[in-house]
Structure 1
Amino acid sequence: MDKSKKSILSFIVISLLLAIMFVIAVNTGSLSVSIGKLFKGLFVSYDADVATIYDLRFSRIFISILAGAAIAVSGVLFQAVLKNPLADPGIIGISSGAAFVAVLITAAAPNLFFLTPIFAFFGGVIAFFMVYLLSWKGGLSPLRIILTGVAVNSLFTGISSAFNSMSGGDRTGVASIVEANITQKTWDDVHTLLPYVIAGLILAILFAGECNLLSLEDKTARGLGVNVNRTRIVISLIAVLLASIATAIAGAISFLGLIVPHIGRIFVGSDHKKLIPFSAIAGAFTFLTADTIGRTIAAPNEVSAAVIMSVIGGPFFILLLRRSKKYGN
Structure 2
Amino acid sequence: MNKKIAMFLVVIALLLAVIGFSATSGSIQVTITELVLGIFSGTNEQVEVIKDLRFPRIIIALFAGAALAVSGVLLQAVMRNPLADASVLGISSGAGFLSLLAVSFFPTLFFWMPLFAFAGGALACFLVYLFSWKQGLSPVRMILVGVAINAVFSGLSQSFNYRGSYAAASVNLATTSTLSMKKWADVEVMVLYGSVGLVLALLLYGWCNFSVLQEKTAKNLGFPITRARLLISAVAVLLAAVATAIAGVIAFIGLLIPHIARQLIGTDHKLLIPFSAVSGALLLLAADTLGRTILAPNEIPASILMSIIGGPFLIFLLRKSDRVYGN
TM-score by length of 1: 0.95
Number of the residue aligned with 1:121: 118
**2:174 is the alignment partner of 1:182:** no
Partner amino acid, structure 1, of 2:249: A
**Paired position in structure 2 for 1:227:** 224
- Distance, in Å, in 1 between the alignment partners of 2:190 and 2:309 is 26
1:177 shift after superposition: 5.5
> Shift of the alpha carbon at 1:86?
0.4
Distance 1:7 1:193 in 2: 29
Describe how 1:117-266 pairs up with structure 2 within 5 A: 117-166=114-163, 168=165, 173-176=170-173, 179-266=176-263
- Unpaired runs of at least 5, structure 1: none
In structure 1, what is the equivalent of residue 308 of structure 2? 311
Deviations 1:4-32 (A, max 9, x none): 01110011010011100001111221211
- Output the amino acid matched with 1:138: Q
1:289 aligns with 286
1:199, CA displacement in angstroms? 0.6
2:253 matches 1:272: no
Q: Quick one: distance in 1 between partners of 2:40 and 2:155? A: 46
Name the counterpart of 1:9. Answer: 6
Per the TM alignment, residue 192 of structure 1 is displaced from its structure 2 partner at its CA by: 1.0
Q: Deviations over 1:170-203 (max 9, x none)?
A: 7984224654122121110000111111110010
> Is the contact made by 1:179 and 1:304 (CA closer than 8 Å) also made in structure 2?
no
Alignment counterpart, residue 54 of structure 2, candidates 53, 57, 65? 57
Please give the alpha-carbon distance, in whole angstroms, between the structure 2 residues aligned to 1:86 and 1:176.
Answer: 31
Q: What's the secondary structure of 1:270's corresponding residue?
A: coil
Name the structure 2 match of 1:110: 107
The CA deviation at 1:46 is: 2.6
For residues 135 and 297 of structure 1, what CA distance do their matches in structure 2 show?
A: 42
Deviation track 1:89-145 (CA, whole Å, cap 9, x = no partner) reads 011000000000001111222111111001110111000000110111111000001
Report what 1:302 is aligned to: 299
Counterparts of 2:304 and 2:166, CA distance in 1: 18
**Percent of aligned pairs with the same residue?**
50
Instruction: State the alpha-carbon separation in 1 of the partners of residues 69 and 251 from structure 2.
Output: 10
Residues 41/308 of structure 1: CA separation in 2 closer, same or farther (3 Å cut):
same
Q: 1:44 offset after TM fit, Å?
A: 4.0
| Residues 1:173 and 1:79: Cα distance change in structure 2 (over 3 Å) | farther
Q: SS at 1:325's partner residue? A: coil
- Give the conservation status (yes or no) of the 8 Å contact 2:98–2:117: yes
TM-superposed CA distance for 1:303, in Å, is 1.3
Is 1:69 the counterpart of 2:69? The answer is no
Cα distance in 1 for residues equivalent to 2:191 and 2:122: 20
Distance 2:166 2:62 in 1: 26
> In the superposition, relative to structure 1, how do residues 19 and 169 fare at CA in structure 2: closer, same or farther (>3 Å)?
farther
* 3-state SS of paired residue (2:150): helix
* RMSD of aligned residue pairs (Cα, Å): 1.6
1-structure distance, mates of 2:306, 2:254? 10
Q: 1:12 to 1:169 in 2, by over 3 A?
A: farther
Q: What TM-score does the superposition give when structure 2 sets the normalisation length?
A: 0.95
- 1:198-224 deviation line (CA, Å, top 9, x unaligned): 110010000001100111111221222
Change (3 A) 1:11 1:192: same
Is the contact between residue 167 and residue 174 of structure 1 (CA under 8 Å) also seen in structure 2?
no
Q: C-alpha separation between the residues in 2 aligned to 1:222 and 1:274?
A: 25
Letter aligned with residue 143 of structure 2: I
Distance 1:232 1:167 in 2: 42
Q: Distance in 2 between matches of 1:201 and 1:44?
A: 33
Q: Which amino acid aligns with 2:239?
A: L
Give the structure 1 partner of residue 320 of structure 2.
323
* C-alpha contact (below 8 Å) 1:169/1:175 kept by paired residues: no
After superposition, the Cα gap between the structure-2 partners of 1:80 and 1:114, relative to the gap in structure 1 and judged at 3 Å, is same
Gap change, CA 1:171 and 1:44, over 3 Å in 2: farther
Match of 2:43 among 17, 35, 46: 46
Query: Which residue type is aligned with residue 217 of structure 2?
Result: T
Distance in 1 of aligned mates of 2:88 and 2:170: 23
